[in-house]
């Protein structure tokens, strides 16, 4: 198996994104210009001005003239042909090319959409504050963001979005849904939500607001450190560093890592954080590419918490990078997972920026945990399954966190008092 140290990977050239997905606008339809020669038996030339074919000698296995035939039909017969935007037609053709893969995680972004996507990754945008994805063909909420309009309205991870402003979401892609849900600050969007506890879909009216993506919270629960990580975005490793040092100064006997409703982010951030809990050069995750190439990511860093008892909270909103970190600590350290089965997002997307600022996000590989299990579509089962009911939410109870405290205290009690580590924070 080929082993590549994560620190040697050129992330300036390739940015790999692990989350389910936060895309920002519906992609636009169309095609692009060109002139072509059609058939030897019935020769004629249809000229479409504006595009020159720069590649000769293409394979003759595909009759590309069908594309130009369709172009001419649109140009000559579409009722609004005189209003067609040529650049939008180009972007639509590329979008259709990517959509033909049948992979819901491979997406084309126009320059405007690419800019919005990058704004999301940087952590601020307008909307309701919920991560969306498609699972088993159904548009659903991966996780509402902390203190967002979605969370305040009562939306939950796993909620199925049946309608947006009375428009049926059947067959709708994430980008189209985001386009409908996004809007100006202070305006209202109506969602019809299906949930196991509902007898029929329930309407939620949500007022759009500026969304600032939270990253981390930390506190002490008795003699146990509690760190809640909300995403694996650019600032996550640094903010985790700050929280970890703050907690270490209080000399905790154990740690609860809360990855609930964490939809993921950068793979590099997940590998970075694994280095706090594992000894150096431990295999965190492997990527398997369609070519058969295998790329291995190993832990690095200070290993500050490697001897400290740890438990992890997960739920259906824990996806991709969250599953990588939780899976690695479960397989390599026997860390107990508490809560509900994770989302099951285990494919690798690579961003390629095109020359006009548009981007293609394409699936290039899938992940395996250190124990060999595939994450994608499988998810990770908790060691202790604990659900949160509607009554718990109403009463502001958190039985999952209560169970985590119980389990971590049990783990601490198993350690002789003279073996409980004193954390060395001279990093």
End-to-end CA distance of the chain: 32
31, 67 Cβ separation under 8 angstroms:
yes
Q: Indicate which residue of 133, 268, 331, 376 is catalytic.
A: 331
Q: Is the Cα dihedral 368, 373, 376, 380 positive or negative?
A: negative
Active site residue 345: yes
For 39, counting Cβ atoms within 10 Å of its Cβ (0-12 exposed, 13-18 middle, 19+ buried), the class is exposed
Return the ∠ at Cα 301 (arms to 325 and 251), rounded to 5°. 85
62: CB partners within 8 A, 6+ apart: none
Are 325 and 275 contacting, i.e. CB atoms less than 8 angstroms apart?
A: no
3-state DSSP of 296-317? EEECCCCCCCCCCCEEEEECCC
Asked if residues 118 and 372 have their Cβ atoms less than 8 Å apart, the reply is no
Question: DSSP letter string over 209-249?
Answer: EEEE---EEEEEETTEEEEEE--BSTTHHHHHHHHHHHHHT
Structural contact between residues 27 and 91, judged by C-beta atoms closer than 8 angstroms:
yes
Q: Three-state SS for 219?
A: strand
355 catalytic? Reply is no
Cβ contact 237:269 at 8 Å: yes
Looking at 345, 361, 376, 403, which residue is catalytic? 345
Active site residue 383: no
Question: What is d(CA 343, CA 380) in angstroms, rounded to the nearest whole number?
Answer: 8
Instruction: Tell me the torsion sign for CA atoms 86, 91, 92, 96.
Output: positive
271, 283, 382: which is closest to 320 by C-alpha? Answer: 271
Three-class DSSP category at 154? coil
Name the catalytic one among 106, 148, 236, 320.
Answer: 320
User: What is the full DSSP assignment across 105-122?
Assistant: T-EEE-HHHHHHHHHHHH
Residue that has been written with the tokens 């020769």 in this structure: 43
Residue in the structure block whose two tokens are 């329930």: 202
Q: Going by C-beta distance under 8 Å and a sequence separation of 6 or more, which residues neighbour residue 28?
A: 88, 91, 92, 95, 110
Polymer length of the chain: 427
- Active-site residues, by number, are 320, 331, 345
């Amino acid at each position: 198996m080929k082993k590549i140290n994560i620190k040697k990977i050129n992330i300036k050239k390739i940015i790999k994104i692990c989350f389910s997905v936060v895309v920002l606008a519906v992609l636009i339809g169309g095609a692009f210009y060109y002139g072509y020669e059609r058939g030897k038996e019935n020769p004629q030339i249809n000229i479409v001005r504006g595009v020159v074919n720069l590649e000769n000698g293409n394979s003759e296995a595909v009759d590309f003239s069908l594309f130009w035939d369709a172009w001419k039909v649109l140009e000559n017969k579409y009722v609004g042909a005189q209003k067609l935007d040529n650049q939008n037609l180009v972007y639509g053709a590329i979008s259709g090319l990517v959509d033909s893969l049948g992979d819901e995680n491979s997406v084309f972004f126009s320059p405007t959409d690419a800019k919005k996507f990058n704004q999301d990754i940087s952590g601020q945008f307008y909307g309701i504050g919920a991560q969306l994805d498609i699972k088993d063909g159904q548009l659903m909420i991966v996780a509402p963001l902390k203190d967002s309009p979605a969370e305040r309205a009562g939306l939950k991870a796993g909620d199925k979005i049946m309608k947006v402003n009375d428009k049926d979401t059947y067959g709708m892609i994430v980008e189209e849904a985001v386009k409908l849900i996004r809007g100006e600050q202070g305006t209202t969007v109506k969602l019809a939500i299906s949930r196991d506890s509902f007898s029929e879909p329930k309407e939620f009216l949500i007022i759009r607001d500026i969304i600032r993506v939270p990253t981390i919270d930390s506190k002490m629960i008795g003699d146990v450190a509690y760190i809640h990580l909300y995403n694996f975005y650019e600032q996550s490793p640094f903010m985790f560093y700050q929280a970890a040092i703050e907690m270490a100064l209080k000399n905790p006997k154990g740690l609860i890592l809360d990855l609930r409703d964490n939809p993921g982010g950068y793979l590099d951030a997940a590998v970075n954080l694994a280095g706090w809990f594992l000894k150096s050069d431990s295999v965190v995750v492997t990527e398997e590419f369609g070519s058969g190439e295998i790329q291995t990511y190993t832990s690095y860093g200070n290993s500050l918490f490697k001897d400290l008892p740890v438990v992890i909270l997960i739920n259906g909103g824990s996806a991709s990078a969250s599953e990588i970190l939780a899976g690695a600590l479960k397989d390599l350290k026997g860390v107990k997972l508490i809560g509900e089965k994770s989302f099951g997002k285990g494919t690798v997307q690579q961003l390629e920026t095109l020359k006009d600022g548009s981007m293609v996000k394409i699936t290039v590989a899938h992940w395996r945990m250190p124990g060999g299990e595939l994450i994608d579509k499988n998810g990770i089962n908790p060691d202790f399954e604990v659900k949160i009911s509607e009554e718990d939410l109403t009463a502001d109870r958190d039985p999952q966190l209560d169970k985590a405290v119980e389990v971590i205290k049990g783990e601490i009690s198993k350690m002789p008092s003279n073996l409980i580590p004193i954390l060395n924070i001279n990093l």
